[in-house]
Structure 1
């Protein structure tokens, strides 16, 4: 039995891809064979360091023809998935395939009929991408006979899925923030930073309100996008403030990483970030409330200029909370606990 994580191919930073690689590393470290599955031969994420085991989906014309024949000629036959690069040449019914939620309502049926699946849901707000408004169309991988369980990465996501699918076998795993990469730095520049990946329209409004009011005359603005992790970490460590514009979010890794580095975080929690946007050390803003966002940033800058220590103390408390709550050790414990339970269920399928 081997666990295979189907993984999107992004050559620029995407937190969910890193999580997939981390899961595979955790499983292998604990004696459970696992691989990342990519479609493009030779592809490997290079925006963070890794030696994660990878196999490649073999998807030639002949492979597709054989799979199509199997599906039509024997409706109950397992459709194995051909791969290259691992110990074996197929993903079979003796394995488990992990599929991200983004692949739509047919994801369980479309990939390896008869192979047991685990759905990896890292953004509950993408759960229904590709679905229909037709009330009678109830096709979903969360009801499919091949689906063993769902893994979800936040309290918000767990509540969302449990409400929608009350009988769903669901395991919430904790994400971790790398304490070596995103380490606390007490010395801060008069600098605010934010990611430009999401919601640039709101960012443009907030920054320009502050700019035209003269609130940023002695602060540097550092927007960033598609930078290596090492460079992003340095930006966080240097910055006093991080502005969070993300929405919707499965968890909100950038805000958590910024907190771990000692930034005071202001902005939208995006849903998934509710669990760590604590008002004791951050400034959550109601989604879409641009004016309150800008006013809060201006007030904090003014307070810092008058007396920096209370603002710096919030950064220290945020970093302590993130490092204690989202440690690699806790992440590993929860991933393993989830998979041991899933594997027990998987093994029972063959003992009946």
Structure 2
């Protein structure tokens, strides 16, 4: 039997870009002839908020083989991730470097983290910012960076021939307290007088994409982030994106293609949104042309092929070759 890659994934069935990428990584591996599965903890669990045909097993069914198989573990498993499936080579799929030290003491002795475990062969991250973080924290660690894709069938500018409705969207699960402050300031100033405000909540992937393609402005409140999906997707859908790049979003969320504001600066955030809305009232065609330029640039960079190639290189290089008896996968709380 060929080497097999086991991708451990949290049992969460709410929209999460990171979980979606785990499933796609498994699909890319299988399409390339590398047998791979998603591993959830509970029997019968699989994500339902997006469409997929990805092979899924529960932890009790997974038995990776030392010397042959690869176990891919999310960074959220913390200090004990190296203890899962003893003897099996592991790679940390770190999709948010700012979670790296969750669960650790404030001063952890050098060489004692999960990233120093002899079975941890390296880490895979999702942005230049996060790669720099991990390389600085762990100079010995093999760090590879992948490129997320944007699904071209979902994230595109819908050309209707008419100006976009003055609709503003945001993710209420991202710093809801700050979203409330920004929106209330704008409301008190009358800046939302002709604006429909739509929280993106309780929607599946296709519904969110449809909402973004018919919106003018997206407010980005997420930070710190690995490589945030919502502002990237909104930009690809033709929204004018205002807000936080979350550190990991600096790869694409620039002044050229968006309206980044300092993290936590509520007044600067509100002021920038008001300026964008006023500019659209004065020159809708000019603002929407800027949005189309940003969409074209980001869609050209974050392609399915770029994701596929980066995932196969990052994870495939860690697959060893020899065979040995399987080791039951024991989850670590």
User: Under a length normalisation based on structure 2, what TM-score does the superposition of the two structures give?
Assistant: 0.92
Change (3 A) 1:214 1:112: same
2:137 is matched with 164
2:189 and 2:252 map into 1 onto residues whose CA distance is 31
1:283 and 1:15 map into 2 onto residues whose CA distance is 22
1:22 is matched with 24
1:205 is matched with 181
**Contact 1:157/1:250, CA 8 A, preserved across alignment:** yes
Q: Does 1:96 align with 2:70?
A: yes
Q: Does 1:119 align with 2:92?
A: yes
Query: By how many angstroms is 1:140 displaced?
Result: 1.3
Which residues in structure 2 correspond to 1:181-196 (within 5 Å)? 181-187=154-160, 188-196=164-172
Aligned mate of 1:287, from 254, 263, 268: 263
Q: Give the structure with higher Rg (CA).
A: 1
2:79 is matched with 105
2:287 and 2:153 map into 1 onto residues whose CA distance is 24
Q: Does 1:277 align with 2:253?
A: yes
Aligned mate of 2:119, from 107, 126, 146: 146
Query: By how many angstroms is 1:139 displaced?
Result: 2.2
1:3 is matched with 5
Structure 2: segments with no counterpart, 5+ residues: 325-333
Query: By how many angstroms is 1:135 displaced?
Result: 4.3
1:265 and 1:146 map into 2 onto residues whose CA distance is 42
Q: Report the aligned-residue RMSD.
A: 1.5
Deviations 1:217-252 (A, max 9, x none): 101000122310111011100100000000111111
Aligned mate of 1:32, from 31, 34, 39: 34
**Contact 1:106/1:139, CA 8 A, preserved across alignment:** no
**Contact 2:70/2:318, CA 8 A, preserved across alignment:** no
2:224 is matched with 248
1:130 is matched with 103
Change (3 A) 1:349 1:295: farther
2:97 and 2:153 map into 1 onto residues whose CA distance is 29
Query: By how many angstroms is 1:138 displaced?
Result: 4.4
Query: By how many angstroms is 1:348 displaced?
Result: 8.7
SS of structure 1 residue aligned to 2:249: helix
1:332 is matched with 308
2:330 is matched with none
**Contact 2:65/2:323, CA 8 A, preserved across alignment:** no
Structure 1 segments (4+ residues) deviating >6 Å: none
1:189 and 1:252 map into 2 onto residues whose CA distance is 25
Change (3 A) 1:48 1:135: closer
SS of structure 1 residue aligned to 2:45: coil
2:327 is matched with none
1:113 and 1:107 map into 2 onto residues whose CA distance is 10
Larger relative contact order, structure 1 or 2 (CA cutoff 8 Å, min sep 6): 2
SS of structure 2 residue aligned to 1:297: helix
SS of structure 2 residue aligned to 1:342: coil
